Amino acid sequence: KNEVEQSPQNLTAQEGEFITINCSYSVGISALHWLQQHPGGGIVSLFMLSSGKKKHGRLIATINIQEKHSSLHITASHPRDSAVYICAPEMEYGNKLVFGAGTILRVKS
């Protein structure tokens, strides 16, 4: 079993839809990162959180440490949101990230 499980693996949405990507992990963590990988390959850090909820524009990330679960929400999705979204828990010991396989999101206009 992978240390990090993301769902869904693939997601196609219509423009304007509310999107949720889930991440479950089995390791002890100090924080969790959400990354976005553009179709061109570049990677951008969206959020780093250790508790509760963070919001940036149309993106919201939540984490429940006790349940070892995090979600990334996109409100009013847009075709430019099409990308791979990667969950990356930061291990409690060892100062490193473990990566989920990513969720491929396609938003159609």
List interacting residues with another protein (CB under 8 A): 30-31, 33, 35, 37, 41-45, 48, 50, 84, 86, 88, 90, 94-97, 99, 101-102
| Per-residue CA distances from 68 to 13, 63, 85 (Å) | 26, 8, 18
Of 79 and 94, CB closest to another protein: 94
Shortest distance in whole angstroms from residue 24 CB to another protein: 17
Shortest distance in whole angstroms from residue 16 CB to another protein: 27
| Per-residue CA distances from 57 to 2, 13, 60, 76 (Å) | 31, 19, 8, 10
Ordered strands of the 52-56 beta sheet: 4-7, 19-25, 69-74, 59-64, 52-56
Shortest distance in whole angstroms from residue 34 CB to another protein: 10
Of 2 and 76, CB closest to another protein: 2
Q: Measured in Å, how far apart are the chain's first and last C-alpha atoms? A: 36
Shortest distance in whole angstroms from residue 25 CB to another protein: 15
Of 93 and 109, CB closest to another protein: 93
Label the pairing between strands 19-25 and 69-74. Answer: antiparallel
